[in-house]
Chain A
Amino acid sequence: MRRPSSLAIAVFLGLAAVTAIAAVFLARQVDRREDQLLDERARAVVQAIDRRIETYTEKLFGVRGAFSASNELTHAEYEAFLGTQGVSRRYPGVLALGYADLVPDARRAAFIRGVDRDAQAAGLGYPEFVIRPNAQRPGSVAITYVHPLGPNRAAYGLDLMSEAARRTALGLARDQARPVATAPLRLVTETTDQEGLLVMLPRYEGADQSPAVGERLRRFRGAAFVAIRLPDLIRSAVPTGPGLDLEIYDVGAVGTVPSRLRAGDEAFDLRGGAQAPGSSGDRSRILDTEIAGRQWRIYYRADENLVGGGERATPWLIAILGIVVAMLATAAISFARSAQRRAVLIADQMTSDLQASQTELARSNEELERFAFLASHDLQQPLRTVNGFLQLLELRHGDELKGRAKEYVEYALRGTRQMSTLIDDLLTYSRAGRSERAPEPVSLDRAWDAAVEQLQAALEESGATVTRGDLPTVCADAGQMTQLFANLVGNGVKYRGDAPPEVRADARRVPDGWEIAVSDNGIGIDSSDHDRIFGMFRRLHGDDRFEGTGLGLALVKRIVENTGGRIGVESQVGEGSTFLITLPDDIAQPGPAREGEAVSAR
C-alpha cells in the first residue's frame, strides 16, 4: 500500500488525540466517581459503626437508670429489664450488657454475700460470686450483673480495675462522667476470648449522674457496661464484600494526637501492615472518628472496582471505537487520496499518451506525405515505361495487331493515363502540405485569372461563364492559390447541371479576415455529404458520370488549411454550390480599395 498522505496522518492523529482526550476525561470521570463512591462508602461505614456504638451506649443509660432508680436492683429484676429486649438479637455485636459495682473495701465480704444471695435467688443459674482475678484487691469494680449470662459466665465477678485497658477506660469514665470505651481488648467469655471492647458508663450515688468534678470519685458507685464483639459489630454495620478491606485502629483516648499508623497499634480485622494511603489510583480512605471517648482511625480500602465494569470499560470502549473510527477515516482519506492520485496519474498518462499519439500522428502524417511524394515520383517512371511502349506499339506497329489486340492496347493506354493523372494529383496533394516557399503577398485577382487561363480549353468546351468581383491580396503561396481556384472552377464546370456552367468569385470582409465565396450553378451537394466531400478519394458519383481522382476538394482544403484558413460549403442538391474560404486577417493583405470600405494599411 502506498504511504499514507500527510492529510491522512493528520486526520488520524487528530482523531486519535480527540479520542485519547475523551477517553482520559471519561477515565478521570470514572476515577472521580469511584473516589466519591469510596468516600461515601467509607463515611457510611464510619457512620454505621458510630451509630451502633452510640445505640449501645444509650442502652447503658437505661441500665444505669434502672440501677439509680432502685438502689438494690435484684438479678431477677435486671434480667426482667433486659431479657425482653433481645439484646444479642437486636444489637448485633453486643456480647454482654452488664453492670459492675464498686466493691466497698470495708464491707467486702458482706457485699459478696449479698450479691451471691441475690443471684442465687434469681434462679437464673449464676455461679458463685467471686471477685476475680484477685479477690482481695482493694477498690475493685466487679461485674455483678451480666446479660445474657450463658456465654458471659466467665465475666461474672470480673474486676474491671484489675486490667489496664479496662481500668484506664473506667477511670476516664468515672472522672469525666460520660461513656468511655476501652482500647481493643480480649473479651472474657466462657468459650474463647473474643476481640472487642467495653463501653462503660459510670454511676454515681444520688440522682445527679453528672456531679461536679470534685464529687465524682467520692460518689462513684459502679458502671454499666456493654461488651461489644468488634468483628460482629463491623460485620453487621458494614456490608462487607470480598473486595473490601476494613481496618480499625484505636489511636488512643480522646486528646491523644493521632500519629501515623503503627504496626503495633491495636487493630481490628487487621490485614497485615497498613499501606500508605493516598497514592494515585489507591482506593483507600482513612477516616478518624471518636467512639465513646476514644479516637479511632478507620482504614477503608476497596480492592474491587466500585464503579461497574460497564462504566469502567466505557473509556476503553471509546478509545477503541475512536481508534477504529480514526483508522477508518485515515483509510478512507488514503483511499480517496490515492484514488485521486491514480486519477491524476491516469489523466497525466492519457494526456502524455495523447500528446505522444499526436506527435506520432504528425510524424506519421509527415512520413505518409513523404511516402506519397516519393512513391508517386517513383511510380511515374514504370508507368511511363508501360505507357510509352504501349504508345509505340499502337503507333508504330498498329497495323500488325490482329483481331481485338488493338482494342486491348487502347484499354491499357487508358488505364495508364488515368493512373498518371492520379499520380499527378497525389504529388500535388502531398506537395501542398510541403510548401516550398515562404508565404508572400499574392494577389488573388491574379491567381484567379491564372487559374481560369489554365482551364481555358475546358471552359470553352463547356461554354462556361467565369466571373469575379474584386479579390484581396493575401499572404500565401501563389502557385497554391492558383491551384485552389483551378480546382474550384474545374469542379463547378465538371459537376454541371443542364444549364451552361457559371462560376463566380466574390470577397468580403469578415471579423477575422477575408471570406472568398466561389459559387457555381452545378448539381449541388446534399447537406449530408458536406463533411465528406473534403476527404481524400471521396467521390460522391460513380466514375461513369464524372472523371476524376477524388483528390480535388481534399487538395483545396489542404491548401486553405496550410494557409491558415478554413473552408466550408453551402449547397443544396440542384441549387448549385458555394464554397466559402476564410483566410485569416493576420496573413491577409487588404484588397483593392472599394467604396465605403476602410482599408487597413499594412
Chain B
Amino acid sequence: MTAPGDVLLVEDADVHVEFTRLAFESEGLADALAIARDGEEAMAIIADRADRPPRLILLDLKLPGMSGFDVLQAVRSHASEQVRRTPVVVLTTSRAPSDVRRAYDLNANSFLRKPLELPEYFELIGAVRAWWLERVELP
C-alpha cells in the first residue's frame, strides 16, 4: 500500500526522529519514511521527487533555518499542484494557541501535540499514517 518515501518526516530532534522511525519500523513500514532534518532538506527532497511527491508530510514547527511555518508555506505555494495538495500534519510540542491558529491559517491539515510517552507516540503515528494514507480519499 505504501511506497518508499510516501511519508516525509521533517524533524530535527533526534528523539522524535527515532520515535517516528521506530513507530514505522514496528509496523514493518520502515521504507515508507523519508527523513529531512531541516526545512531546506525537506524542500530538496520534494524537489528531487517531483515525479512522485510524498503522500503525507509530518512537520515539526521548531526547525533550524526555515521554520515549520516556512516549509508549510513553501509546500502550499509549490509549483506542483500535487505537492500543494499534500496533507501536512503539524506535529509539535508547542501548545501555543497562536501556533495552532497560524498553522491552520497556512492550511495545515492537522495540528497534533507530540505525546511524551512512547506508547502514545507510536499510537498517534500509527493512527495518522493509517488515516491519511489508507482512509482519506484525496484528489
Contact across chains for A479 and B97 when beta carbons are under 8 A apart: yes
Interface residues on A, range: 20 to 34
Produce 1/0 per residue, A425-438, CB < 8 A to B: 00100010000110
Q: Mark B86-130, 1 if CB is under 8 A from A, else 0.
A: 000000011111100000000000000010111000000000000
Asked if A388 meets B97 with Cβ closer than 8 Å, knowing A381-B62, A420-B116, the reply is no
Q: Is A385 an interface residue (CB 8 A)?
A: yes
Interface string of B53-67 (1 = CB under 8 A from A): 000000000100000
Q: Interface readout for B1-16 with A: 1 if CB under 8 Å, 0 if not?
A: 0000000000001111
Q: Give CA–CA (A392, B23) in the complex, Å.
A: 12
Residues B68-85 near A (CB distance < 8 A): none
CB distance from B67 to the nearest CB of A (A): 13
Question: Would A392 and B118 count as touching, CB distance under 8 A?
Answer: yes
A 57-91 binary contact with B (CB < 8 Å = 1; else 0): 00000000000000000000000000000000000
Number of interface residues of B (CB under 8 A): 18
Cα A392 to Cα B97 in complex, Å, equals 30
Cβ of B66 to closest chain A Cβ, rounded Å: 18
- Are A392 and B116 touching (Cβ within 8 A)? no
Name which of B93, B116, B117 has the most chain A CB atoms within 10 A of its CB.
B116
A383 to nearest B CB, angstroms? 9
Chain A residues positioned under 8 Å from B13 (CB to CB): 381, 384-385
Q: Does A176 contact B (CB under 8 A)?
A: no
Chain A residues touching B, majority SS: helix
- Given the interface pairs A417-B116, A420-B116, the reply to whether A388 lies near B94 with Cβ below 8 Å is no
B22 at the interface (CB under 8 A from A): yes
B16, B18, B93, B94, most chain A CB atoms within 10 A: B93
Residue pair A436, B98 in contact (C-beta under 8 Å): yes
Cα(A381)–Cα(B96), bound, Å: 15
Most interface-central of B15, B93, B95, B118 (chain A CB within 10 A): B15
If A392-B22, A417-B116, A420-B116 touch, whether A385 touches B14 (CB-CB below 8 Å) is: yes
Given contacts A381-B62, A388-B16, is CB(A395)–CB(B93) below 8 Å?
no
User: Which chain B residues border A436 with CB–CB below 8 Å?
Assistant: 96-98
Q: State whether the Cβ of A389 lies closer than 8 Å to any Cβ in chain B.
A: yes
Q: Given contacts A384-B13, A385-B15, are A391 and B118 in contact (CB under 8 A)?
A: yes
Interface string of A471-506 (1 = CB under 8 A from B): 000000001000000000000000000000000000
Q: How far is the CA of A389 from the CA of B15 in the complex (A)?
A: 6
Other CB < 8 Å A-B pairs besides A387-B15, A392-B18, A396-B22, 15 of them?
Answer: A380-B93, A381-B62, A384-B15, A384-B93, A384-B114, A388-B19, A388-B118, A391-B117, A392-B118, A395-B118, A417-B116, A427-B95, A436-B96, A436-B97, A437-B97
A-to-B contact residues, CB < 8 Å: 377, 380-381, 384-385, 387-389, 391-392, 395-396, 417, 420, 424, 427, 431, 436-437, 479
